[in-house]
Amino acid sequence: MKIGYFPGCSLHATAREYAESLGVITGPLDVEINEIDDWACCGATSAHATNHLLGVALPARTLALAAEQGHEQILAPCAACYSRLAAARRAVDNDPATGAAVEKAIGRSVGTARPISLVRLLAELAPKVREKAKRPLEDIKVACYYGCLLVRPPELNDLDDVEAPTMMETVVKATGAKPVSWNRRLDCCGGGFSLSRTSSVVRLSRTILEDARGAGADVLVVACPMCHSNLDFRQKAIARRSEGGMDIPVIYLSQLVGLALGQDHVALGLGRHFVSTASFISRIPGPREGESAAATEVG
């Protein structure tokens, strides 16, 4: 399977462990990802909150490049990037006036490439994950956190259900780990207010972390760099305002899959988190006998 790959800005910087883990798991899962040449930022919240057309045109350029470079599908691991690409796709497909304005602005034909989120891709590959899993994660309790942009708005939902999605849980079950049942998996973490209104992010992320902890989760799994940064990087600040402290590792879904596939935790970027993953990793037994973890050089 060959698909286009739109890393977005985060996967080249603050979420580089997301990119690293993705690079490590695609091989065993027989997926070839090709980074779109000369992609630009999707504009994120800032573009669509201030200029609607700009919020569509920037991601539409990426769709156009993907099509020009021969891709039918573009993997956008970042939930925010996925959402913007999907919004552009929809705007161009459903509204001829916007479509024309966009093509005029970008000076290209948008083409027909469609974005896919990492959660959907992995859910579709779940049988393969199960088949290739080398390391039993049976004792690991996982809180799957979807956040907003993978499921909302409903017309851009890439998953099975807006209010009761199950795709992340499907992937987690394929790794052998146990998804816990909890309430806040669709709540907002504060998203793009990370820098500009940290107090809101702390308030919202705290309720999410506390609920996950209350449900007995060992680890919180995410598929969005923004959520990750709010829940991991801000966790220390949150813990200060929370009773009984807070110590929940927050990892990417691709990292959990990588662990199950027997990949080395350094290669998966598990050492890059602010909340230490060491105690959680130490609880996972090594690969089953006769098999060795494929260590990859850390970039």
Partner 1 sequence: MARIGVFVCHCGENIGRTVDCEAVANACGELPGVVHAVDYKYMCSDPGQNLIKEAIAEKNLTGVVVAACSPHMHEKTFRKATEGAGLNPYLCEMTNIREQCSWIHEDRDAATAKAIDLTRFISEKIKRNSPLAPISISLERRALVIGGGISGLQAALDMADGGREVVLVEKQPSIGGHMSRLSETFPTLDCSQCILTPRMVEVHQHPRIKLLTYSEIESVDGYIGNFSVKIRKKARGVDETRCNGCGECQSVCPMKKIPSEFDAGLGNRTAIYVPFPQAVPNIPVIDRENCLRIKGMQKKKAKAACGRCAEACGRDAIDFEQEDTFVTEKVGAIVVATGYQLYSIGKEQTRKGITGYGEYGYGTVPDVIDGMQFERIASASGPSGGEIVRPSDGKVPKRVVFLQCIGSREPSKGIEYCSKLCCMYVAKHTMLYRHKVHDGEAIVFYMDIRAGGKGYDEFVRRAIEEDGAKYIRGRVSSIQREGEKVRLTGFDTLSGEQMEIDADMVVLATAMQAQPGIESLAQKLSVSYDGHGFINEAHPKLRPVDTNTAGVFVAGACQAPRDIPDSVAMASATASKVLGMFSKERLEREPTVAGVDKVTCSGCFHCERACPYGAVERYEVLNRSGEVEKVIAEVNEGVCQGCGSCQVACPSKSIELEGFTDAQIFAAINAL
Partner 2 sequence: MSIPESAAPATLAGEVRRKTGLNPATCYQCGKCSAGCPMAVETSLRPHDVLRMLQFDDREQLLSSESIWLCLTCETCTARCPNSCDPARIIDCLRETALNEGAAQPPRNIRAFHNAFLKQIQRSGRLFEMGLIMSYKMRSGALFADVMAAPGMLGRGKLALAPSRIQGLEEIRRIFDACTRHESDSTSTTTAQQNPGTEGAENA
> Which one, 76 or 159, has the nearer CB to partner 1?
159
How far apart CA 115 and CA 81 sit, in angstroms, is 9
- Minimum separation from the CB atom of position 266 to partner 2 (A): 12
Q: Which amino acid is at 21?
A: S
For residue 282, what are the CA distances in angstroms to 140, 153, 285? 11, 39, 7
For residue 80, what are the CA distances in angstroms to 42, 170, 205, 223? 9, 22, 17, 10
How far apart CA 114 and CA 132 sit, in angstroms, is 28
Q: Is 241 in the site for partner 2 (CB under 8 A)?
A: no
The token pair at 266 is: 């350094």
In 217-235, which positions are buried (b, 16+ CB within 10 angstroms) versus exposed (e)? bbbbbbbbbbbbbbbbbbb
Q: Which residues are CB-neighbours of 8 under 8 A, at least 6 positions away?
A: 41, 42, 76, 77, 78, 80, 81, 225
Specify whether the CB–CB gap between 50 and 91 falls below 8 A: no
- Minimum separation from the CB atom of position 81 to partner 1 (A): 25
Site string for partner 2, 22-41 (x = CB under 8 A): ----------------xxxx
- Minimum separation from the CB atom of position 195 to partner 2 (A): 6
> Which one, 18 or 280, has the nearer CB to partner 2?
18
Q: Compute and round to an integer the Cα radius of gyration of the chain.
A: 19
How far apart CA 268 and CA 254 sit, in angstroms, is 8
> Which one, 38 or 163, has the nearer CB to partner 1?
163
Please, which of residues 183-212 interact with partner 1 by CB under 8 A? Answer: 183
- Minimum separation from the CB atom of position 215 to partner 1 (A): 10
Q: Which residue from 96, 154, 244, 290 is in contact with partner 2, where contact means CB under 8 A?
A: 154
How far apart CA 278 and CA 249 sit, in angstroms, is 9
Q: Which residue from 50, 112, 183, 276 is in contact with partner 2, where contact means CB under 8 A?
A: 50
Q: Is 161 in the site for partner 1 (CB under 8 A)?
A: yes
16 binds, among partner 2, partner 1, none (CB under 5 to 8 A by kind): partner 2
Q: Is 57 in the site for partner 2 (CB under 8 A)?
A: yes
Q: Is 163 in the site for partner 1 (CB under 8 A)?
A: yes
The token pair at 64 is: 């156009």
> Which one, 176 or 190, has the nearer CB to partner 2?
190
Q: Is 162 in the site for partner 1 (CB under 8 A)?
A: yes
Q: Is 51 in the site for partner 1 (CB under 8 A)?
A: no
> Which one, 123 or 189, has the nearer CB to partner 2?
189
Applying CB under 8 A, the residues found at the interface with partner 2 are 9-10, 12-16, 38-41, 43-54, 57-58, 61, 101, 104-107, 148-149, 151-154, 162-163, 186-188, 190-193, 195-198, 200, 204, 233, 271-274
